[in-house]
Structure 1
Amino acid sequence: MDPKLTYLLHSNCAPTVTQTLEIRRLLESSEVSQLRDLAVHPDELPGLLRYLRGTLSLIRTFPAELLSQVFIFCRDNSHALRYSTIDPREAPMILGHVCRHWRSVAYSTPRLWDTVSLSNFASPDLPLDPSIVHDILAHSRDLPLELSLAYEMKPESLSDAFAYFDTLWASHERLRTLTLNLSNTKSNILPCGKVFHVLSSIDIKINYPYSETLDNWENMHYATLSDTLEGFSSAPALRSLRLEADFTPEDILIPTLPWSQLTHLELFTHAEYNLGRDIIIECPALEEVALGYYFGPGAELPLHTHYLRTLSLDMFGEGPDVVLLAFVLPRLESLTLRTEVPVHAMSALVALYERSRFSLVHLELGMDLPPEDVGLLLRIFCSLRTLSISGGHSITNRHFTLFNIPSRPIRHPRLQSLTIGLLTFDLDGAVVAEMAETLAPGAARIDAPFPALRELRLPRAAPEHMRPVFSEDVEARLETLRATGFLDDSIESW
């Protein structure tokens, strides 16, 4: 056999035009006499022909630049971004195990390694070897890094954990985004005294252990939110901060953190409203805020957030009215409010809408809202583009008949998307179908109550025993609206 063809069998090089014609001739040959030139044992002939057929694969003709883009696509669609980049069963690690050419292209593509996810949660059998992490960081060259770390300290691996974290923080100058999910973690494994020149986003979640009975943990100092934030005092590019903890935090308003730079803030901790209020006061440039698990009275001072466009509140306690009345938001565009105690919610919402200079266009309410309040909301909030109302299992037939009253129809000229749910077993299917048909867009209906509406979402409850069962006639009417793309009543759990 031609030595050049033998070379192709041991490499990933693409055959030339002449070699391609020769290989196709051999593969299409039906006479054994024509294959004698291959000089192989008859038993080895099928395997050899299979390898020759592989040399014609189009992947061999891919330029290295195009192959690297395919590798990046594989990385972005693998489980590695959610679990562990060092998993040999997922991209990018598995790409280097195919052949020498693929390994060379993979290791020469820095963008393939600039997003790193490391965890000992989902893959406890995969050791977090500092040398492997060092190699991964080296492959990314000088690109900014997006690092996601989920780590649980174990008594038997404390020394390995310290070496592992030292390897990570050696690249602190290149960190652009950092996600930390820490459990049972000592504070001294976190970065201290480092300068994060390009760090723009931090997402921190800390869980305290449920049991502290082990003798190995008796003298352990667990990481706190303030301990963690102290490590990021030198971050001139920091713009986004998210904090989540399953405990009541200590005073996290440390003076060394650059609060005034933040434009995006999320706080999900068991803390009183006053703590969130004080933090917001220190962040005059905020554009997006999400507060969760806040409770108790407060709001002695008004919150003048002149640049805030998006506000999300997940409230427990004395109701949202106290908090809503504290905000002065002249540029508010999107509001999400979830609460179990909607005391005076509508009056507070109306007051907030007036203070926002009628700029609100996206509203999502997760609360028990009576049909009368829904009608009032649609009549007053004239600037809305999207509206979502989810009251758990409190959505009744009256919420749908509200749209079917011909004598006093509700009209809204700008609303484009409406969501009402969840649909449960005690709803009348005919009422739901009539409401959906009333709101469906029609080119000939110049007097349509919702002329701009293009999407109606009526999600059904996920538990089968709670899911509504409509008649065949109702389902046929709804299917007509589904086919147009106007109605979405798929199963959803909230």
Structure 2
Amino acid sequence: MPRNPSHCSFESSVKHLLHTNVIPSAQECARIPDILVQPRKDLATIEEEIQRTQQKLDELKYRREVLATDIDAHLALLSPVRRLPDDILREIFVTSLASTHNAIIASREAPLLLCQVCSDWRKIAFTTPRLWSSLHVVVPTEPQLQDTIFSLAQQWLARSGILPLSLSIGISFAVLDEDHTAVFPFLELMLAAQTAGNPSNSQSPLRPIIWTGFRNGFTPYPLPLPPS
């Protein structure tokens, strides 16, 4: 609400000087501290009231959040997805995979994203080989992270069963310049995945792998493609 510049919210003998460039006299300057005694007390009272009101508002907001959370939790019990058979969920999970690139080791995308929803979904995802039959591995620049990513990739491929694989590797020139052998364990892991599910004396063909290549165009040696 706009205010009249000449208006003052409390009684003041110098209000005619407010919002002007007029210099107050010595007597007027001497009166100003006395004029402000009660207004300052009133201001302190208002600030205390605001603080009490804010505390009450914060309490109400907290209670609202708790109630809303509990209501949502109850409504979630009615969700139809809870009643879907595991086989249907598996099909839905597979359709959530990226269609333009191999799956990546990242919690923001399927299949790892699905594993974060609940323990039941994680169990279903872990036992759905199609979710793990594609993989793009980015070789980290930090050596200490390479072991972690290698271990995750190893677990990933183990969940793929004996399905054909689609694999790719991303490696920066910085990694190659620092240690070009850093990529070898990942390549060996992917090549070893060919024999998954095949006994050493088996005459069955090796597991097919679709090799979609390296970023930066670096391909130390080729990987086999599945028969057409």
TM-score (norm 1): 0.27
How far the C-alpha of 1:157 sits from its partner, in A, is 4.6
The residue matched to 1:170 in structure 2 has which SS?
helix
SS of structure 2 residue aligned to 1:75: coil
**Cross-structure match for 2:107:** 88
Structure 2 stretches lacking a partner, 5+ long: 1-62, 195-205
Aligned 8 A contact 1:134 1:167 in 2: yes
State yes or no: 1:163 paired with 2:163. Answer: no
2:102–2:168 contact (8 Å) kept in structure 1: no
List per-residue Cα deviations over 1:403-457 (Å, max 9, x = no partner).
xxxxxxxxxxxxxxxxxxxxxxxxxxxxxxxxxxxxxxxxxxxxxxxxxxxxxxx
Aligned to 1:136: 156
- Classify 1:46/1:183 alpha carbon distance in 2 versus 1 (closer, same or farther; 3 Å): closer
Report how far residue 136 of structure 1 moved: 1.0
Per-residue displacement from partner, 1:231-275 (whole Å, max 9, x unpaired)? xxxxxx4x5xxxxxxxxxxxxxxxxxxxxxxxxxxxxxxxxxxxx
The equivalences for 1:257-336 within 5 A come to none
| CA gap 1:50/1:124 in 2 versus in 1, 3 angstroms | farther
Contact in 2 for aligned 1:152/1:185 (Cα 8 Å): no
- Equivalence map 1:185-224=2 (5 Å): 185=218, 187=220, 190=221, 199-200=225-226
Aligned equivalents of 1:151, 1:46: Cα separation in 2:
46
Name the residue aligned to 1:183: 216
Residue 63 of structure 1: CA displacement? Answer: 0.8
What is the DSSP-based 3-state SS (H/G/I as helix, E as strand, rest coil) of the residue aligned with 1:116?
Answer: strand
Question: AA paired with 1:118?
Answer: V
For 1:132, the aligned partner's letter is L
The question of 1:71 aligning with 2:93 is answered yes
TM-score by length of 2: 0.55
Residue 60 of structure 1 is aligned with which of 58, 82, 88? 82
Q: How does 1:71-470 map to 2 (within 5 A)?
A: 71-77=93-99, 81-82=100-101, 84-119=103-138, 129-153=149-173, 154=175, 155-172=177-194, 173-183=206-216, 185=218, 187=220, 190=221, 199-200=225-226, 237=227
Of Structure 1 and Structure 2, which has the larger fraction of its residues in strand?
1
Equivalent residue pairs, number: 148
The separation in 2 between residues aligned to 1:83 and 1:146, in whole angstroms, is 7
Cα deviations by residue, 1:174-214 (Å, 9 ceiling, x for unpaired): 23321112537473xx36xx9x5xx33xxxxxxxxxxxxxx
Shift in Å, 1:102? 0.7
Take 1:177 and 1:185, find their aligned partners in 2: how far apart are those partners?
Answer: 16
Does residue 81 of structure 2 align to residue 48 of structure 1? Answer: no
* In structure 2, distance between residues paired with 1:186 and 1:74: 30
Q: Distance in 2 between matches of 1:83 and 1:69?
A: 18
Determine the C-alpha separation between the residues in 2 that align with 1:152 and 1:84.
Answer: 19
Structure number with the bigger relative contact order (C-alpha 8 A, sep ≥ 6) is: 2
Q: Is the alpha carbon distance of 1:148 and 1:186 closer, same or farther for their aligned partners in structure 2, counting shifts above 3 Å?
A: closer
Cα displacement (A) at 1:84 = 5.0
* Partner of residue 4, structure 2: none
CA distance in 2, matches of 1:176, 1:159: 22
TM-aligned CA distance change 1:133 to 1:59, over 3 Å: same
Equivalents in 1 of 2:125, 2:157: separation in Å? 13
1:147–1:175: 8 Å Cα contact kept in structure 2? no
Q: Secondary structure at the match of 1:118?
A: strand
Paired residue type of 1:142: I
Aligned-partner Cα distance in 2 for 1:63–1:124: 42
- Change in CA separation of 1:175 and 1:151 when aligned onto 2, cut-off 3 Å: farther
Q: Report the structure, 1 or 2, having the larger helix content.
A: 2
Structure 1 position 114, deviation (Å)? 1.4
Q: Sort the Cα spacing of 1:157 and 1:132 in 2 relative to 1 into closer, same or farther, 3 A.
A: farther
For each residue in 1:310-331, what CA deviation from the matched residue of structure 2 results, as whole angstroms up to 9, or x when unmatched?
xxxxxxxxxxxxxxxxxxxxxx
State the shift of 1:88 in Å.
Answer: 1.5
The 3-state SS of whatever aligns with 2:171 is: strand
Residue identity matched to 1:133: A
Q: Provide Cα deviations, 1:88-111, integer angstroms capped at 9, x if missing partner.
A: 211111111111011011111111
Q: Which runs of 5+ in 1 are unaligned?
A: 1-41, 201-236, 240-494
1:106–1:112: 8 Å Cα contact kept in structure 2?
yes
Question: For 1:62 and 1:157, how far apart are their aligned partners in 2?
Answer: 49
8 Å Cα contact 1:83/1:119 also seen in 2: no
Summarize the Cα distance change of 1:73–1:124 in structure 2 as closer, same or farther, 3 Å threshold: farther
**CA shift for structure 1 position 86:** 0.9
Distance 1:56 1:184 in 2: 51
Q: Distance in 1 between matches of 2:103 and 2:91?
A: 21
Report the residue type matching 1:112 in the other structure: L
Tell me how far apart the structure 1 counterparts of residues 86 and 104 of structure 2 sit (CA, whole Å): 22
| SS of 1:177 mapped into structure 2 | strand
1:117: Cα distance to partner? Answer: 2.8
